[in-house]
Structure 1
């Protein structure tokens, strides 16, 4: 995927759900993975021509795993002239050494988001951008359907009352395969996850399930995404009418 295509998808999402307003200061949550680095490029590129002016910063919550080297991301942010902050934490130690969590994902996500959102507020940002793409949204819907018995997925834009912070998901229309293509084409400095349960979660199971369903029923994946967009899920904003 070329940058031009990425920017087209990003602008469409931003305009469909009113994600960016004049004067916004948006923090990009950087995990070190391909998705968040693609999001960083997307918003950096959008900033150059979008009619509404906004500031951009980046932040990473370091969970405390050994050999998690963020120097390549620091170098990228310097190259793009984006302020970058690293928040050090003991989340990995708490999850695996103290609590010895067998299923740590939910608690990890809660603690990570808490640390991220606090840092974002301290940086003076009013919005934080998460790097959830189309496949993440489809997989979350199936996870909720199978394991919780409800039809739900990430909202494109969510206002957090307690934090007075808005969460946006600007690459929601981008396929994961396109993200992988973008990663290779632009040689993104991906920092591999050090989490010991990475690839062995319910989400990994659902990812394979979506692949199998789409293989057996071509087009099923796109139809699931369309069902989500049209599903009137609680908390989702309405799509804005295009001129």
Structure 2
């Protein structure tokens, strides 16, 4: 006779099933991004920038999992920049990383005092803080012999940056999943580029990461990025799937139907040429098709980093 399943057991089983689905989905998204943009290659030494927030914890955790099954060899070194913010718990990350058994390095630089001294009270500190942090991390990457620098920016960060540049910078520009630094010496990758922030929040809770809040910039009210984030979240609530559609647009750019004369030779356009990127839609009704999912599991190369 079968033993009846209690409500508690049923809930636990469902929770475990959902956790497994979430983990697999994030792993696939990261694997897809790595493969699509050739982010990690044989012999790479990846410096994973760990801030103590949910995104960078998830990035390191997922990369460690992929490392075990990948058909190529690459190494990971976690790096945290202790910016000497008041009350920053300096023991949390070293303890966490030591328990993981991962190679790591903690860099202590008092950028907090510099930012507070230079930026007037009430003004946004993010720009200066970011520049200082970037310069330090590039230096550390050289010291560690890192071939790639992995950052924890996700899909929502990329979309927010797109709208920030449009609204406040007059540029059609986002965060690329992969880029070379201005001096050409460092390669930056964003393996979480396809991951939704809501999934990462759930994953952080599931894995019980010891989250460290950013009290330097995260507590500032009325930031432009926060306003844009709220705008996108409101759209997503009213029109589910809109964020995914917008991200798909970043992967389907039609230069001939924008207005950048440096990107497309409008001045040299002549009669008789074949229309590019969708042709002449000036007098035709636009027909919009649902975007394809950003997950391309069915077409993933056999020799993928996922190793699945």
Give the TM-score normalised by structure 2.
0.72
Following TM superposition, by how much is the alpha carbon of 1:242 offset from its aligned partner in structure 2, in angstroms? 4.6
1:65 and 2:65 equivalent?
Answer: no
Following TM superposition, by how much is the alpha carbon of 1:81 offset from its aligned partner in structure 2, in angstroms? 1.9
Alignment of 1:219-234 (within 5 A): 219-231=241-253
C-alpha contact (below 8 Å) 2:126/2:217 kept by paired residues: no
Equivalents in 2 of 1:202, 1:111: separation in Å?
A: 20
1:166 and 2:187 equivalent?
Answer: yes
The number of residue pairs the alignment matches comes to: 238
Partner of 1:151: 172
CA RMSD in angstroms comes to 2.1
Equivalents in 1 of 2:219, 2:131: separation in Å?
A: 17
Equivalents in 2 of 1:69, 1:192: separation in Å?
A: 10
Partner of 1:209: 231
142-151 vs 195-204, which moves further: 195-204
215-224 vs 120-129, which moves further: 215-224
Following TM superposition, by how much is the alpha carbon of 1:98 offset from its aligned partner in structure 2, in angstroms? 4.5
Q: Which has the higher Rg, Structure 1 or Structure 2?
A: 2
Equivalents in 2 of 1:67, 1:80: separation in Å?
A: 24
C-alpha contact (below 8 Å) 1:62/1:89 kept by paired residues: yes
| Alignment CA distance shift 1:204-1:126 (3 Å) | same
Q: Secondary structure at the match of 1:59?
A: strand
Alignment of 1:119-198 (within 5 A): 119-160=140-181, 162=183, 164-195=185-216, 198=219
1:13 and 2:33 equivalent?
Answer: yes
Following TM superposition, by how much is the alpha carbon of 1:197 offset from its aligned partner in structure 2, in angstroms? 5.0
Alignment of 1:34-113 (within 5 A): 34-100=54-120, 102-113=123-134
Partner of 2:24: 4
Alignment of 1:14-29 (within 5 A): 14-29=34-49
Following TM superposition, by how much is the alpha carbon of 1:116 offset from its aligned partner in structure 2, in angstroms? 1.1
Gap runs ≥5 in structure 1: 235-239
38-47 vs 70-79, which moves further: 70-79
Q: Deviation string for 1:168-215 (max 9, x for gaps)?
A: 000111100000000111101111112155353211111001012223
Equivalents in 1 of 2:177, 2:167: separation in Å?
A: 22
